[in-house]
Amino acid sequence: MDVKKKPKSDQLRWVVIYPAYISKKTLVEGRRIPLAEAVDAPNVPEIVDVLNSIPLPNLVETKMYPRDQLRSTLCQGRVRVQLFSEDGTPLVPEITTRQALYKHVAKLIPMLKTRQQKPVVAAPQATVAAGGKKNKKKR
């Protein structure tokens, strides 16, 4: 069973994205894009949200990344993404390679509503009256 002989639309030919590929980990830990474009702690639901907004067909699989030391449940899973149609043309013209897909997903994850921090308004602090020093005796 040679996978390369299958059509590009077959699920075995889809591109795989593990969260480690776009995280701010080291290259040894699995990062596949430049550190400047990487994301802090991405997870599978965020990747799926971005892919659904593009829209690209995707499939979530419950597989673990082999290099993940922690094996945490937050990082568990991977996403398969269809980049090409049956005849080999890209489904999204600006995303034609794995690297372009990784960079595009990493660029859009910080823009998700779940990642947006709401501005915290600091409550005015009560001013403390500057009283004189109190002399305490040593015992």
Residue 80 pairs with which residues in a beta bridge?
A: 16, 59
Tell me the per-residue pLDDT of 47-87, one tens digit each, with 9 for 90 and over: 999 999 998 999 999 998 888 777 766 668 999 999 999 98
Q: Is 107 helix (H, G, I), strand (E, B) or coil?
A: helix
Give the mean model confidence (pLDDT) for residues 32-39. 95
Q: What is the pTM of this model?
A: 0.77
DSSP labels for 64-87? --TT-SS--STT--EEEE--B-TT
pLDDT at 100 over 90: yes
> What is the C-alpha to C-alpha distance for residues 123 and 76, in angstroms, rounded to an integer?
39
pLDDT at 8: 80
pLDDT at 33: 96
Domain locations in the chain?
A: 13-111
pLDDT at 44: 92
Distances (CA, A) of 25 to 9, 17, 44: 31, 15, 16
Higher model confidence: residue 68 or residue 132? 68
User: What CATH code would you report for 13-111?
Assistant: 3.30.56.30
